[in-house]
Structure 1
């Protein structure tokens, strides 16, 4: 348990940051799920559109420190190759 004023403040900051990061991660996962659903439905146009919408969200997650750069690159690469394979 935090005892000093500094430790209490850090605990409050950590809670706030955790909530913000959780919301960002959830938002990104939603965009990725939309791409997955479009791929599963077999609609290439919808999958392409969903992928285009998901890319900036994923990269924003990298800038904000929610995801590692390589993780985001790997996810984008795998999704785009799956969308391309639909042709």
Structure 2
């Protein structure tokens, strides 16, 4: 544990951010899996609804720096291709 006041604060804030980022990343993965599940079930309506939610979360994650913007773009492209193929 650090002794300097600013370092103590940095440890606390880093841990808070880590937990928030982990939760958001987990929600993002869940949204992507929901789209994949709907595609496997051949359910076009629910796939499109889940896709819009996943795209929203991907954009948000990329803008906040949680994932790289090119990674978000790639994931959106691949999901959209799969949904359009239904």
TM-score normalised over the length of structure 2: 0.92
Q: CA RMSD in A?
A: 1.0
Stretches (4+) displaced over 6 A: none
Find the aligned partners of 1:44 and 1:24 in 2 and give their Cα distance.
Answer: 26
TM-score normalised over the length of structure 1: 0.91
Q: CA deviation at 1:30?
A: 1.3
Which residue number in structure 2 is paired with residue 26 of structure 1? 26
Unaligned runs of 5+ in 1: none
Map 1:38-53 onto structure 2 (within 5 A). 38-53=38-53
Unaligned runs of 5+ in 2: none
What number of residue pairs does the alignment pair up? 86
Asked if 1:74 is matched to 2:77, the reply is no
SS at match of 1:8: helix
